Structure 1
Amino acid sequence: MSARRGRRPGWWYAAAFVLAALAVWSFAVEPRWVAARVEPLSSAQWQAPAGLKVAVAGDWHLTSRSAWRITSVERAARIVDEINTAQPDVVLLPGDFLAGTGEDDEPLPIEDMAAVLGKLKAPQGVYAVLGNHDWWHDGERTAKALAAQGIRVLENASLRLPGHDIWVVGIGDHSTGHSDPMRALAGVPAGAATLVLMHDPFSFATMPRTRGLVVASHTHGGQVSVPGYGALIVPGAAPREWAYGWITHKDRRMYVTSGLGVSILPVRFNMRPEWVMFR
């Protein structure tokens, strides 16, 4: 009789198995299962030049501690090769290239990170903005290291895309106080089409109306997205509804990518890491 009282019911074992499977999936599988998504570049407000392909890859969070932070140099190099194989015309990198804050026990040297991303190839250029983690490490050093690899860093600045009447616009990171959308767009001719990249999506709330593509990162899609509810936590000032995908605000659209790496915990559930080709 006492032995029967101590025996656990069958549902307990089933629940334990499900929880263990979820833990393995969320910590070991999904954070490393990178999606290569394809999204439309044109919209109802703007018709992109025929054949133009724009790749977006944010939140790399490269590290020397890949067992915890996921994105090793080797893994990043494989993603770079995958993007290059897709032959984008333009590559946009919306920040957070390194993991941690720069005070980790084994931080990855900034120049090593830049050397990996410097292998990205796009005939009309690779463009970047800095994220909060980049500023925490050393924003100026990060910008110089990327520039030395041929990556154009646009901090509240713009450049005309070679061969097109399209401007690439980079808005600084809002969460570290570097966002200045008006300054970023100041050099863009009125009515010109734009490819706008920012790290923290909250800058979208205050930027002037533009015609073209707007992309952001920073949120990681919350890393954990509960079916029927969405992201549990969204960093920064952006509303939770802006955690991932196409965001509509005042009849304007922005795409927020889930990014490639992780932050705080090496976990993802229902929110795969990704890079995106807009075409």
Structure 2
Amino acid sequence: MDDMRARYGVPLGITAVGAAGLAYAVGFEVRSFRLRRITVPVLPRGMRPLRVLQVSDIHMVSGQRKKQRWLQSLAGLRPDFVVNTGDNLSDPEGVPEVLDALGPLMKFPGAYVFGSNDYYGPKLRNPARYLMEKASGRHGLNGNAPAVGAIHNPWTELRDAFDAAGWVGLSNTRGRLKLEDIEIALTGLDDPHIKRDRYAEVAGGPESGADLSLAVVHAPYLRVLDAFTADRYPLILAGHTHGGQLCIPFYGALVTNCDLDTRRVKGLSEHHAGGHTSYLHVSAGCGTNRYTPVRFACPPEATLLTLTPQTP
């Protein structure tokens, strides 16, 4: 008996710990929604603070009632405006539930970009491919484009509903939000993860006449961050990474699903390019691909950013 314990005790113990971790990741943490609060000093001096709610990577699947209720409850924060950084869908039938979940937030001024999962439905794939893509330097669906036979999501229904609510679409274009006495200029790109970004169409930096200019994109690829920063945008908002999704406690993320370093996989950081510096905020998002509905050491989130005047 002692020999059997010595032979099988450690492997069985590891298996039990692994099973418990998986049960926690699938059964609890993936639905343990959090609100992150951060302060970013990017406003001109003398300007009143602005509260910006960023939601990202909802990846809605029909029947996710708790997620819908949580998103609806965020309207109680009364933000000055909302920024949606894409990947709302993980189910072609999920549009009505996305709109129901975001309905209370769509009463506030807002802006949005789309991610690859708004355009194309997810496909069952080996999760280990993300690690292999990190090692090879390839990211995304075939590295740059949707796979042959991809499911097309009804993204135009989302676009039409967002536009009807007054949200500003920012796919390779510019837009403005008027907040009483404050005007916000926004510059956005379509998703770099599937190479739909066209920076040349929006290049030139912040617009004159606005009180603040922001940059918005779904996936924080370095070519995009470099371009926005070199053009002197004070703040870039992005999503896509899921914060790493499966992280190691006290170590962090293993992957970002793009060429951003893992140190900046979520939260606020700085980006340097062209002799300039921008703040970068990457949301860990509040959903997962429908085929990998797990999170570990990386709870789902939205972020309330309080923008304050720059310090001397």
Equivalent residues in 2 for 1:105-116, closer than 5 Å:
107-116=92-101
1:23 corresponding residue in structure 2 = 22
Q: Distance in 2 between matches of 1:119 and 1:51?
A: 22
Gap runs ≥5 in structure 1: 67-71, 101-106
Q: Is the aligned partner of 1:143 residue 2:169?
A: no
TM-score, length-scaled by structure 2: 0.74
Paired amino acid for 1:252: S
1:49 maps to what in 2? 47
Q: 1: distance between equivalents of 2:166 and 2:208? A: 28
Counterparts in 2 of 1:94-243, with a 5 A limit?
94-99=85-90, 107-121=92-106, 123=108, 125-136=109-120, 137-162=153-178, 163-184=181-202, 188-190=206-208, 192=210, 193-202=212-221, 203-207=224-228, 208-243=230-265
TM-score with structure 1 setting the length: 0.82
CA drift of 1:46 comes to 5.2
**Is the CA contact (8 Å cut-off) linking 1:129 and 1:199 kept in structure 2?**
yes
The partner residue of 1:262 within 288, 294, 302 is: 288
SS at match of 1:194: strand
Answer yes or no: is the 8 Å Cα contact 1:157–1:185 preserved in 2: no
Distance 1:46-1:24 versus aligned 2 partners, 3 A rule: farther
Higher RCO (Cα < 8 Å, 6 or more apart): 2
Return 5+ residue gaps in structure 2 as ranges.
121-152, 307-312
Shift, 1:23, TM fit: 1.7
Aligned length: 262
Contact 2:84-2:113 at 8 Å conserved across structures: yes
Of 189-198 and 150-159, more deviation after overlay is shown by 189-198
- Secondary structure at the aligned position of 1:5 is classed as helix
Counterpart CA distance in 2 for 1:48 and 1:62 is 40
Cα RMSD over matched residues?
Answer: 2.7
Q: What are the Cα deviations for residues 193-235 of structure 1, in whole angstroms up to 9, with x where unaligned?
A: 2122210111213324334331100010110122454322222
Measured after TM superposition, the shift of residue 39 of structure 1 is 0.5
The question of whether the paired residues in 2 share the 8 Å contact of 1:56 and 1:92 is answered with yes
Instruction: State the identity as a percent.
Output: 26
Say whether the 8 Å CA contact 1:221–1:231 is kept in structure 2: yes
